[in-house]
Every structure is written in C-alpha cells, then in structure tokens.
C-alpha cells in the first residue's frame, strides 16, 4: 500500500478554520450542481446550503417537512423552518414527501447524520447498548432515515469521527448501509446504492468496490492516517489512492460563516 | 358543524384518561397550548401518538400523562435530546413509558390509512433494519400481482387528534397554510378532533398553499392565540429558537421540570381562571 | 430541467407506437391539443389510459390510434354516449379495442401506486360488483393485522403521461390550479411526461390552490394556447359546452368523423406548418 | 293491502309541470339540510342544487372532481365545471376525494343515476346484454358509483322509470344495491345502508325492511299504481302505506326553472 499522499499531518501551523468547518465544506463540495438532495437538519443542511451558495446554485433541496426546492437565505435551525416553505418551489404534505418523492427513487442524494456508524456504513440513531428494552442511551430514533437510506440513489453521511461513534457493528440498525457487505442491498431489494461517501471531521471514507467495507480515501489537511485510525472502532483500511482534501478556500469559509452567523 | 369552545372545555370534553391521543404539527403549528391544558387537567394513561415527539411530548411525558408513546423521532430539533423522554424510557420516571417505534414514512402512512378508512398501509420501508424485530406493528405483505414483498403497517385511528391552525371561521371551517405536515390525516383518522387556532374570523380569506378542513370534519375549535409557541404559526409569529435551547435546561432535571409545571403550566391555568379569559391561554 | 419544445416535437419525441399513454385532466385542463397532435402523427397500437375517456379519447379511438383502453367512465359528460368508443367496442371499428375497466376509485389508486413506486394499491372497492369477473387487474388481499379482505389493483406506470396546465416558467416548472384531478399522479407515475401549457412565463406568480410540479419531475413542456379546448383552463377560458353537444353530431357517424379528422385535425397541422407557428396549435 | 291513497290518477287536469320536474323536486325534498351529499351529474346535481336553494341551504355538495362544499350559482353542466371549484370550501385532488372523504364513510347521501336498476336496487351502468365482451349497448361504465354505493351512509337513486330500465335482474352489477336481498350488504362487508330511496318520474320506491325488495311507497300526482306497474320489469309490490307526493310548489318550480335556464 503506497498512499498517494503523506500520511502524517502536513504541517504544524494552526489552520484558520475548524475541523467542523472542513467537514461541512468537504461535504458541500461533494454535492454536484443540479442534483436533488434530501437534507437532514444540522451538518447536512449546513453543507447543502454552502453548496448552493458556492459551486452548486442549481442544487435542489428537499426537506422531509414538505418542501421541494427550498432556497433559504439563512440556515434553517430546524427542518421545518418557515423560510423553507416560503422559498420552496412547492410545499407538500409529509405523506407526499415520502410516498411520491422519496420512495420512487426521485432523489439523487440522501444526506444523513449518524450517532453510530459501522464498518459497512450501517447507521444507528435508535439506542446505544445491547438491550433495546433497557438501553444505555435512548437516541431520537429513525425519523426519515431508514427510507432515505433505502431509496435515494446514493447516500452521503456526515458525522464527526471517534472510536465511540465508528464501531465494528452498530448496536441497532436504524438505516441500512451495506448490511454485512457487498451484495446485501441487492439481496434486500433496496433500490439505492447506499452510502457512497462518509465525510467526517478527519477525512472521507468510501465503500470498497469489492467488499463495501468503508475505507479511508481522503485526509483533511493536517490530519494523519493514525489520527483517523485512532478515531475508528474497527481496523481501518486505507486506500491505495489516498488523497488530501484541499483546504477551504476563503470564499467557502466566508460563505459558511456568513450562513452560520445569519442563523444565530 | 364544529363547536367553538374554550380550550379548557375542548380538552375537558374531548380528551379522556386512557385515550389514544395524537398532537400533530411537523415543526410548524405544534399545539403547545393544548398540550399544557392536558397537563393542567391531569390526564393519565394516555397513549401519545406523534411523528416527532419534541418538547410538547417531553412535557406531557414528564408530567406523567402518558403510558405509551407511538412515534418516529424523539428529539429536541436543533438542540439535542428530550430528557424527560429519555428519563421515562431509561428510568421509568415518573411512570414507565412503553414505546412503539416507527420511521417517518411508516407513521405518515399509518395516518394515511387511518384517514382513508383502511386497516393498513403498504410501503417500501424497514427492510434490513432492526425495527421490525422490536415493533409488532410492522409486518410484511406480498403484492398479488408481482409477488414482491413489502412492509405493511396498521392504520392509526386516535381517539382524539389535536392540531393547531392559523384560523377558523365561526362555522368551524379550519384554514392552515405553510408546512401542513400530517395534520389533515391526523384529524381525519381520529374519532374526535380539536383544532386550536390563532383566531376565529368572520370569513376565511383564501391564502396560497392553504389546506381547509370543512367544519363537518372537525369536532371542536378553540381559539388559542400563540397556541403553537414555542413553535410557530406562519403569518403570525416566528419559531422561538431560544425557547428550544431553554427547554434543554428545564427538561434536563426532574426538579427543575416540576418547577416549570408548577410555575408555568398550572399558574397559566390559574391566571386564566382568575381573569375569566375564555380562550384559556395567554 | 424540463425541455421547452414545440407540441409537434414533444409528441414526436415522447409518444411512440405501442406505448401506454395517459392523457389526464378531470373535466378541467384536458390536453386536447396534444390528442389532436397524436392523431396527426398517426400513432398506432397505443394503450390509452384515462379515468374519463371523454371526447379526447373518442377522437383517438375513432382515428385508430388505440388497441386498448384502460378507463373508469367513458361518456360525453352532460351529453351522452361516446359513439366512436361504442363503435370500437361493439363493432371493432376502425380497429378492435380491448378494454380494461375499473372504477374511479380504482383508477385513482392505480395512479397513486404508480406515483409512489409501489406495485399495487389497496382500497375498499369492487366488492359484490361484476367488475372483478371481467377485469384481471382486480384482486383481493388480506390485511396482515385484522384479517380483513380488501381489493388490490396494480400500479399504473404509463410510458408517457400528457397533461395540460395553465403555466410553466422557462425552467419548466409547471403550475396548475382549480380542479387538479389526478394529473400530478399521472405525471409522477410515468416514465416520460409532456405538459402542454397555456403560456410559458418568466415567473410563476403564486395562485391559491396551485399545484406545482418541479421542472426535474417533468420531461418536456410545450406551449399550446387554448390547448384544453373544448374543456377549460381556469383563469383562461371557460368550458365550451356547445362543443360537447356538437361532438355528438360528429362522433355519431363514421364518415362525418373522418371528415372532422381531415378538415379540422390534419388541416390544423398544415396551417401550423405553413405559418411556422412554433406552438403547433391555434 | 289497503293503500292509504287512491291508486288511480287523481285528476285529469293537465299539471303545470313535467314529470321530470316532479322527479327533481321529489329528489330535492329528500335531502335534509346539513347533510353531506356526494352528487353525480345530471338529475342528482339538479335535485341537490334545488334543495340547497329551498329547504336545505346547509346541504354540503361534494363532487368527485374534487370539491367539498360547492355552492354553484348556476347548474353545472359537468361534474367538473369551474364554478364548482370557485365556490367550494376546499378543492382537492381526485384520489383524495375517494380515499379520504368517500371511503371512510364521511358522506351521508350518495346520489346516483342508473341505466338499469333491479328489484333489489342494484345498478348497471356498464353494458346492456348478457355478453360483456360483445354487448348490445356499451354504457359509460362505473365512474365513482361502485364505491359511492358501497360507502355512503345511504344512497338515493334518481332515474326515469320504464320496464326497460327497471328490470328483475341487471345485466351487469356495476354498483351493489341490496345484492340478492336483505343481509347481502352485511355479508359483503359494505358499510353503508345502500339504496334507501329510489325517486322516479312516477313515484318513489323504498326497500322493504324485511326483504330489501324495492316497493312502491309513494305516487307522484296524477300517476296511478298501474302506470308504475307498467313501467316496472318485475312484479311490483305496493306498500300498505302508499302516500301521494305533494305537487311542486310555485317556489320549488321557480327555483328549478331558474337554475335550468341559467345553465343553458
């Protein structure tokens, strides 16, 4: 394995952005112009709105609260902010969002967060602990995620990386990633490609085309492979073609920060 | 013809101990005033139904009104956890809380089936997840034409559904606009319904994006100005994002929460009684 | 992004011999101009789908474009029978017409299933009627929760759906209002879609009761002013009730009908070509 | 059997209204104020609109084209006229009409026409003749009728009476009345009460409470029982409590005629 980039931190200089900012901007960059994106609140919404203001003005934002083509001028603080309805091409009821727009596979990218994520991109947002009836931590639950993960053409996951959240096997499969490996989605009859991209505060992971195991393919500036290994609860594989994320541009940072300030 | 009633009477007459009760409103138009009124009236053993049991159900659960929760996402949106919900699930405080857990798509379709007079709904959902193992109300059904297997969920038919809308006229026709969530379905699925509104007006001026529920599809309407606060009512007031953050500090601690019930919920009721305010809320 | 095309190109590119084609519009916004364009282009062996095959399909059937009709009510509303439809069913003229017959509730739910990416829909329907005996696409399904037996119908997924709307913008976002029927479902259920509109405008001013189809859910948009005539386009022109009566005299007789095709449909096409009118219709 | 009224025509004087007008007005009278009425076009629509303008101003008209609470000022010439949408309390899509409003039993009265009607109130609007594949006459088909007949709390049928249209057994059951007799609806699981009233140009028939067979219970002015028998294709039973329809009032006639003229 010959990583294409240096696998240690590039420089000791303090960057002028946070790792969360790098994550949001990396996630924004992954969204191609013109795509239809089903947006969860929090990190996904931030990234999608940065993308719309930078390289992807034609990005179509779909929120499960019932808006198609929202163009918010501030970052919504919930998935149901008034600004999402006021700026949408169409406002629809919640059953219609799921039945007419998500379920038939009309959405290109489902943008999800996760409390726990495992080696095959399966997502847990339900309970931490082995006993569902007596959980260590009760999480919010499924929301729209199981069907977003099933039906979108592909899924991007944005999540802060730690050995606690990146586990060998999730305690509860709320939303299916690649199941127990390549071929599982097809066997289950899940139409979308599943998680094709996991963007964290340390780098980017992609499923191995042969096994569907998540593999580190990209490091954010200043991050070493060992940093990512330390923040991963399974024996992390690193791609032969590991690349280095370009640092946020001044324009990207300013867009992100303006959005965030406006939403305070 | 829907009756125009006070919030106190509406909740008093329509919500009964042991009922299956849905309060709906997806981020927008959440019937918070009605939720507080249920706490004031001391309802018990409710099965609470709601896609997003956010702080309105954290309050009802913390106050001990519920024995069961049917839901798909229980969090404080944009803030974090629901501490009263967690405390009930993890420590049975103040009473044990049984849960029945679905996805949004499943819950939405359960209301659609309920509104449609069908016993169940079909969806592409749950496949490969751990939800069916723990939720008895998820089963599988085979398409009689293609042989494909799909998920089936039973209809939701609450004893009573409560929603908040912008306006009603004096006949009880209800008008709402903006994000309309599953409110129409929740009302149509229920045996009885109570709609709290910002105002009762002589005539409903048409609004782009409106959903109108005819008076004969609604049991009762109660005026409750700012009745969706801290959520919002498009055209009336904005979402109080600070309150959602503030709630984190209230809900986090049992005693602080009890103080909130005493000082803000019960006191709101006394103030209402004292002034004879027929709307029953500020 | 939907393409903005001429009616001639839209039909030419999207409607192919042998296709399953739905033209929808429930009394309001019936895509008549598109229907005439299909006749002009001489399409054959179509399976025509429509809840109410009124005179728009009487024309296509009489012109020999169809080999099968999937429908729930075939009449001339407010006038009487569809003579070309009757002639095809009773005397196989000009070609035999196979029929697949449902109720409105069944057809509407078949479109809903198609729009929802489901293989079938469930309804309380058909029970005790003679329809299931003659229509293979009605089956029965058992509720996995209650054991109750209900009707099941397979999804409709036309190769192409054509509707008429009031307006589109230059990106191809479509706006319609008034009675909106099953047009959204027909478009979303189809592999391809063509929307004819009264006008293409720079900006879609919001209208009460509007349904908006985003440009990315539509294949092509063609301007066709008065394209719903003799039905109507709310806000643009009224229903031409006299034309429906007039149609009775045209459709009643094979030769009169042939004359109508020659003099009014084909001539309309020539006139369009001659003037180079890009809309393709008057 | 002692009919409560004279069973021969009451008078030889020419009435100042037609039998169709009597039928529409008798049908209008049957609609109680405040009821929710699912209205088919033609005779039912005329009757419902007369009712709304006379004794039942609070009658709620529901059309399958997607209107709840239409208040047309002219008679619509189709079930989808613009005036129905413009004057409605709510305009909805066609799937919603059937799924949310009709199917769950929210409608009090379904108001239907018929091409053929049989002794048990079953309705045929599909084909005349024994062979569905090679019919003598192809009729329009089912439309909304099967589910209207199944789900409305009760059904009123308005139809001109003749031995050709009133048959022992319909050639095709498009919409179920009382099946083959009392108890059939319950056995089929049809929630509504079925046809409780059949209003013709000659009189009114109601199902016998014991057998569900349609029995003549009311004669329009100037009509004799024998006239009705002659216009009925089965051996018609006559109620012991046969009554006589009151002639149209001047107000009823003027309302009906004004409506009809305005819609020319």
- Residue D165: inside a domain: yes
Percent above pLDDT 90 for chain A? 84
**Residue A1 forms part of a structural domain:** no
* DSSP structure class, residue C4: E
- pLDDT higher than threshold 50 for residue A100: yes
- Given D36, D60, D105, which is nearest B117 (Cβ)? D105
Q: How far is it, in rounded angstroms, from Cα D28 to Cα D59?
A: 11
User: For position B209, what pLDDT does the model report?
Assistant: 95
Task: Flag if C108 and D95 touch (Cβ within 8 Å).
Answer: yes
Just list the catalytic residues of A: 64
**A and D: touch, per 3+ CB pairs < 8 A?**
no
Q: Which residues of chain A does B51 touch, with a Cβ-Cβ cutoff of 8 Å?
A: 94
Is D147's CB within 8 Å of C125's CB? yes
For residue A79, the model assigns a pLDDT of 72
Residue with tokens 């944009």: B78
Residues of A in contact with C212 (CB under 8 A): 68, 89-90
pLDDT of residue D7: 52
pLDDT band at A222 (very low <50, low <70, confident <90, very high): very high
- State residue A159's pLDDT score: 95
Residues lower than pLDDT 50 in chain C:
274-282
Q: Residue A80 is nearest to which of B26, B109, B124, comparing CB atoms?
A: B26
Q: Chain-wide mean pLDDT for chain D?
A: 93
Q: Residue B129 and residue A175: Cβ atoms within 8 Å? A: yes
Tokens of B172: 């009880």
| pLDDT mean over A173-187 | 97
- Partner B contacted by C127 (CB < 8 A): no
The per-residue pLDDT for range A145-161, each reduced to its tens digit, is 999 999 999 999 999 99
Contacts of B115 in chain D (CB under 8 A): 99-100, 104
Q: What is the pLDDT of residue D73?
A: 83
A174 assigned to some structural domain: yes
Does residue A5 sit within a domain? no
| Closest C-chain CA to A92 | C211
Beta-carbon contacts of B259 under 8 Å, excluding residues fewer than 6 positions away, are none
Residues of chain C with C-beta less than 8 angstroms from the C-beta of A104? 115-117, 188
Domain range for A227 is 19-257
- Residue in chain A lying closest to C205 (CA): A89
Tell me how close the Cα of B86 comes to any Cα of chain D, in angstroms: 36
What's the gap in Å between the CA of C69 and the closest CA on chain A?
25
D142:C81 CB<8 A = no
What are the strands, taking DSSP E only, across B51-104? Answer: 66-71, 98-101
CA distance C203 to chain B (A): 16
- φ and ψ at residue D258, rounded to 5 degrees: -60, -45
Where do the CATH 3.30.30 domains begin and end in chain C?
A: 104-154
Q: pLDDT value at position B282?
A: 31
**Whole-angstrom distance, CA of residue C106 vs CA of residue C128:** 15
* Chain A residues lying within 8 Å of B124, measured CB to CB: 103, 147, 150-151, 191
Number of Cβ pairs closer than 8 Å across B and D? Answer: 34
Q: Which residue of A has its CA nearest to B50?
A: A143
**Interchain CB distance below 8 Å, A98 and B108:** yes
Strand, helix or coil at D62? strand
Tell me the C-alpha distance between D202 and D182, whole Å: 25
Name which of C156, C161, C228, C231 is nearest C198 in CA terms. Answer: C228
Assess whether pLDDT exceeds 80 at residue B149.
Answer: yes
CB-nearest partner of C117 from B120, B124, B210: B124
CA dihedral C73, C74, C75, C76 (to 10 degrees): 110
Q: Reply yes or no on whether the pLDDT at D6 is more than 90.
A: no
Interface test with D, best of C25, C111, C130, C186 (most D CBs within 10 A): C130
**Subunits with at least 3 CB pairs below 8 A relative to chain D?**
B, C
Query: In the predicted model, what is the mean pLDDT of residues A21-42?
Result: 94
Read off the DSSP letter of residue A152.
S
Backbone angles phi, psi at B255, to 5 degrees: -70, -40
Give pLDDT, residue C160.
98
Q: Taking phi first (over 0 means left), then psi (-120 to 50 degrees means alpha), and beta for anything else, what does residue D29 get?
A: alpha
pLDDT at A40 over 60: yes
- Look up the CATH architecture of domain C104-154: 2-Layer Sandwich (3.30)
Does A224 have pLDDT greater than 70? yes
Q: How far is B204 from chain A (nearest CA, A)?
A: 20
Report whether C144 contacts B139 (CB < 8 A).
yes
Neighboring chain C residues of D38 at a CB cutoff of 8 Å: none
Q: What share of chain B is helix, strand, coil (3-state, %, to 5)?
A: 35, 25, 40
Tens of pLDDT, residues A109-144: 999 999 999 999 999 999 999 999 999 999 999 999
| C 247-266 residues inside an 8 A Cβ radius of B | none
The rounded percent of chain B whose pLDDT value lies above 90 is: 93
- Asked whether the CA dihedral C107, C110, C112, C114 is positive or negative, the reply is negative
Question: Which helix (DSSP H) or strand (DSSP E) does residue C163 occupy?
Answer: strand C160-169
State how far the Cα of C234 lies from the Cα of D159, in Å rounded to an integer: 32
Q: What number is the average pLDDT over the span D259-264?
A: 77
**Quick check: C117 and A69 CB within 8 A?**
no
Sheet hosting strand D166-167, strand order edge to edge = D123-124, D116-118, D166-167
Asked if pLDDT for residue D4 goes beyond 70, the answer is no
What pairs with residue C140 in β-bridges? C151
Give chain D's contact residues with B (Cβ, < 8 Å): 34, 36, 60, 68-69, 89-90, 99-100, 103-106, 151
Q: Which two tokens stand for residue A91?
A: 């406002």
Number of structural domains chain A divides into: 1
What mean pLDDT comes out for the span A198-215? Answer: 98
* Mean pLDDT of all residues belonging to chain C: 95
Tokens of B116: 């449609």
ipTM: 0.95
Q: Where are the beta strands (DSSP E) in chain B?
A: 3-5, 20-23, 46-50, 66-71, 98-101, 120-123, 139-142, 149-154, 160-169, 174-176, 192-201, 211-213, 220-223
Cβ-defined contact of C184 to A100 (cutoff 8 Å) = yes
What's the pLDDT score for residue C270? Answer: 73
Range(s) for CATH 3.40.1080.10 in chain C?
3-102+157-268
Contact C130 D41 (CB under 8 A): no
- The C-alpha atoms of residue C120 and residue C150 are separated, in whole angstroms, by 12
**Residue C176 sits at the chain B interface (C-beta within 8 Å):** no
pLDDT at A41: 73
Which residues neighbour B42 within 8 Å (Cβ) at sequence distance 6 or greater?
B65
Among the partner-chain residues B119, B144, B207, the one whose CB lies closest to the CB of C152 is B144
Task: Name the pLDDT band for A3 (thresholds 50, 70, 90).
Answer: very low
Q: Is C235 on the interface with A (CB under 8 A)?
A: no
Q: How remote is the C-alpha of C97 from its chain's centroid?
A: 17
Which of B118, B148, B210, B211 is the best substitution to test chain C (most C C-beta atoms within 10 A)?
Answer: B118
How many whole angstroms separate alpha carbon C70 and alpha carbon C102? 8
Contact flag C212-A60 (C-beta cutoff 8 Å): no
How far C178 CA sits from the closest chain D CA (Å)?
A: 6
Substitution target from C24, C25, C26, C27 for chain D, most D beta carbons within 10 A: C27
Bridge partner residues of C68 (DSSP): C47, C98
Using CA coordinates, name the residue in chain A closest to B180: A93
Cα→Cα distances B180→A93, A222, B33, B165, Å = 6, 46, 18, 9
For residue D4, being part of any structural domain is answered with no
Interchain contact C141–A (C-beta under 8 A): no
Determine the pLDDT at residue D1. Answer: 41
What is the CATH T-level fold of the domain B3-102+157-268, as seen in this structure? Glutaconate Coenzyme A-transferase (3.40.1080)
Catalytic residue among D21, D64, D147, D213: D64
């Amino acid at each position: 394995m010959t990583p294409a980039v240096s696998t240690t931190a590039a420089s000791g200089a303090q960057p002028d952005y946070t790792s969360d900012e790098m994550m949001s901007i990396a996630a924004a960059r992954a969204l191609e112009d013109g795509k239809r994106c089903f947006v969860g609140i929090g990190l996904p919404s931030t990234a999608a709105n940065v993308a719309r203001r930078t390289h992807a003005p034609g990005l179509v934002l779909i929120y499960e609260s019932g808006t198609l083509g929202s163009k918010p001028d501030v970052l919504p603080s919930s998935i149901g902010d008034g600004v999402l309805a006021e700026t949408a091409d169409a406002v629809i009821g919640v059953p219609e969002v799921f039945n007419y727009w998500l379920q038939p596979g009309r959405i290109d990218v489902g943008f999800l967060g996760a409390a726990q994520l495992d080696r095959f991109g399966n997502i847990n947002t339900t309970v931490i602990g082995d006993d569902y009836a007596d959980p260590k931590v009760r999480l919010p639950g499924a929301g729209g995620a199981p069907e977003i993960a099933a039906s979108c053409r592909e899924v991007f996951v944005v999540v802060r990386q730690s050995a606690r959240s990146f586990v060998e096997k999730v305690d509860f499969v709320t939303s299916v990633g690649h199941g127990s490996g390549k071929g599982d989605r097809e066997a289950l009859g899940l139409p979308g490609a599943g998680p094709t991209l996991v963007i964290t505060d340390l780098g980017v992971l992609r499923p191995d085309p042969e096994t569907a195991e998540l593999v580190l393919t990209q490091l954010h500036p200043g991050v070493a492979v060992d940093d990512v290994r330390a923040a991963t609860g399974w024996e992390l594989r690193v791609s032969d073609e590991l690349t280095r994320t370009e640092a946020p541009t001044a324009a990207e940072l300013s867009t992100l920060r303006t959005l965030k300030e406006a939403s305070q | 013809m829907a009756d125009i009633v006070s919030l106190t009477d509406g909740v008093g007459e329509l919500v009964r101990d042991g009922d299956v009760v849905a309060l709906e409103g997806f981020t927008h138009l959440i019937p918070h005033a009605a939720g507080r009124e249920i706490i004031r009236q001391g309802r018990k053993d409710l099965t609470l139904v709601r896609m997003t049991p956010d702080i309105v159900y954290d309050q009802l659960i913390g106050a001990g009104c519920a024995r069961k929760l049917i839901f798909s996402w229980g969090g404080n949106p944009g803030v974090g956890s629901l501490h009263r919900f967690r405390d009930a699930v993890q420590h049975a405080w103040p009473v044990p809380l049984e849960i029945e857990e679905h996805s949004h798509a499943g819950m939405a379709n359960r209301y659609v089936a309920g509104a449609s007079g069908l016993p169940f709904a079909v969806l592409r959902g749950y496949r490969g997840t751990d939800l069916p193992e723990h939720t008895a109300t998820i089963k599988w059904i085979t398409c009689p034409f293609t042989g494909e297997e799909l998920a089936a969920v039973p209809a939701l038919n609450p004893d009573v559904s409560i929603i908040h809308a912008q306006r009603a006229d004096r006949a009880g026709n209800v008008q709402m606009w903006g994000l309309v969530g599953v409110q129409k379905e929740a009302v149509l699925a229920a045996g009885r319904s109570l709609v709290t509104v910002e105002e009762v007006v002589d005539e409903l001026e048409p609004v782009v994006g409106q959903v109108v529920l005819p008076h004969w599809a609604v049991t009762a309407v109660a005026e409750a100005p700012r009745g969706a606060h801290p959520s919002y009512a498009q055209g009336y007031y904005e979402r109080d994002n600070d309150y959602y953050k503030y709630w984190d500090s209230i809900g986090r601690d049992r005693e602080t929460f009890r103080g909130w019930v005493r000082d803000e919920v019960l006191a709101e009721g006394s103030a209402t009684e004292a002034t004879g305010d027929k709307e029953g809320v500020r």
